Amino acid sequence: MSKEKKEGSNLMGKKYKLVPPDGGWGYLVAVSAIISFSTTTAFSGCFGMMYDDFMTAVSLSSANVTLLLGIFCVAVAFAGFFTSALLNIMSMRMLAFISSVIFACGTLGTVIMTTPIMFFLTAGVFQGMGLGIMYNLSCTIVNEYFTEKRVLVMSFVQTATGVNAMVAPIFVKWSLETFGSKGTLLLIGGISLNNFVAVMLMQPVQWHMKKVPIEVNEKTELKNLLEIEENKDDRAETPILKLSDLSDLEGTTTKETLEKYFEIPEKKKSGIRKIIESMIDTSLVKTFLLSCSSVGPATCSTADGIYIVMVPQYLYSMGWSQENVAMAITLYGFGDLATRVLFTVVSKWMYKLGIQNIYVFGVAIAALSRIGMLWSNSTMVILVYFTLMGVAHCSIAVLMPLVVSDAVAPEKFTSAMGFLQLLFGVMSMAIGPVVGAIRDITNSYASAFYTLISFYGIICVLWPIEMLIKRRKQRRKVDKEDYESSQLKK
């Protein structure tokens, strides 16, 4: 019996494949993600409370604070971007351990800092680098452990993190009253050491893969037979063009045709290019970096961050009291947390609706709620819009890793997250000063906010167009496969 016939006769045999556990140890991995996200991000909203005494003591200006935030964003961006390259030279747990050490040096270093330079180094560079790597790794390992329950688990992780973020200001206020500024920073530094517990829980997914049988149906059989037929052609001494492929030649150049049917040696690459390709996945530049799945979340996250920093000053300029401003921020957080809980409850239906569709809907809510706030003079109505802004913020922040996992293959997730973090850092450094300059030149917060709203609007228009184009291409591909299967039957 020939080799091809043996391959065909074995197709109906029972086969197995390894799949992620979608549970089991994965739930402890989810706990590690909660620990990581909480220790690295929960206290970010307490920046002013935590460092007020130090900034007053060294007379740190607003410009220096802005510089610190810029340094922090750049550190997060570049650390996240090079995470994939670092995984080529060390294991995920080792890299997570190193990033935890870096972040702990940043948090504990703030206890002994005495100069602005030390402040920039500890709170800016070290904490930014630690956060950039840990965030990427935590999203990656959750993505590896879960497939069907990915939305449920990620929503739960983000919900728990959101609860911790709401508790953090209360905790910091109590700690400042009890232990003072230095004692609070030391306590927060101690809390950051829990990252090492998270690292211990980050076991490689290969240790917990499940063995499941492969269901072989008629379509799979035809596809495998087609692959065998193609392999026969590949083994022929003279390359063969099948009649069914002649339609593919129409409208193509000679070079494209040759590259498709004949093996053409690749040109030698320069040393610099080889180094770059060994560090980063250059294939993602065209397929992901320039797509709305990358540009969209980066742009919206940047606009969201700038807006929440500027909006309290806008409300004060409108004559709002401190109590009303606090209520607005509280409702913003409530809308965010309520939506996280909602995502956890309806997670099984979210993939049916489409992660990208839900994300675009959230971006639309972000734009419309901000327009409504600018057009309204009623305090009660504006508070309602702030709740909707919290809903939109949840969609923009929580669904970002899910958008990436939906857009790229699992093995490219870490690299894609790195590209997204880098793009976010670049946009933060570029858009932030521009929006601030618009505010200063026009002396109007509304002008700055309309600029930010325009970014949301651009994404709301371009992203659906891109999704429509991709769906049409996918439909054509499926139709072509069905046609080849029908030809094989004949």
CATH number of residue 128's parent domain: 1.20.1250.20
**Domain identity same for 316 and 208:** no
**Domain identity same for 54 and 200:** yes
**Domain identity same for 322 and 462:** yes
**Domain contains 292:** no
**Domain contains 420:** no
**Domain identity same for 203 and 350:** no
Q: Are 447 and 374 in contact (CB under 8 A)?
A: no
**Domain contains 484:** no
Please give the Cα distance from 477 to 471 (Å, whole number). 10
**Residue finishing a domain among 187, 212, 237:** 212
Please give the Cα distance from 161 to 175 (Å, whole number). 20
**Domain identity same for 206 and 312:** no
**Domain identity same for 205 and 310:** no
**Residue finishing a domain among 188, 212, 236:** 212
Instruction: Determine if the pTM surpasses 0.85.
Output: no
**Domain contains 227:** no
141 CB contacts (<8 Å, ≥6 apart)? 29, 32, 33, 92, 202, 205
**Residue finishing a domain among 192, 212, 232:** 212
Please give the Cα distance from 341 to 350 (Å, whole number). 13
**Domain identity same for 207 and 103:** yes
Per-residue pLDDT of the chain (490 residues; tens, 9 = 90+): 444 444 444 444 567 777 778 788 889 999 999 999 999 888 887 777 788 788 888 887 766 776 787 788 889 888 988 888 888 888 889 999 999 999 999 999 988 988 889 988 998 899 999 999 999 999 889 888 888 888 888 888 888 988 888 888 888 888 888 888 899 899 999 999 999 999 999 988 888 888 777 765 555 555 555 554 555 444 444 444 444 444 444 444 444 444 444 454 555 555 556 556 556 667 777 777 788 888 889 999 888 888 887 888 888 888 888 788 878 888 888 888 888 888 888 877 887 888 889 999 999 999 999 999 999 888 899 999 999 999 999 889 888 888 888 888 878 888 888 888 888 888 888 888 888 888 888 888 889 899 999 999 999 999 999 889 888 887 877 767 666 666 666 5
**Domain contains 271:** no
**Domain contains 46:** yes
Counted domains in the chain: 2
| DSSP assignment string, 249-261 | GTT--HHHHHHHH
**Domain identity same for 178 and 34:** yes
**Domain identity same for 310 and 207:** no
**Domain identity same for 322 and 469:** yes
**Domain contains 224:** no
Residue 385, domain extent: 306-407+444-476
**Domain contains 349:** yes
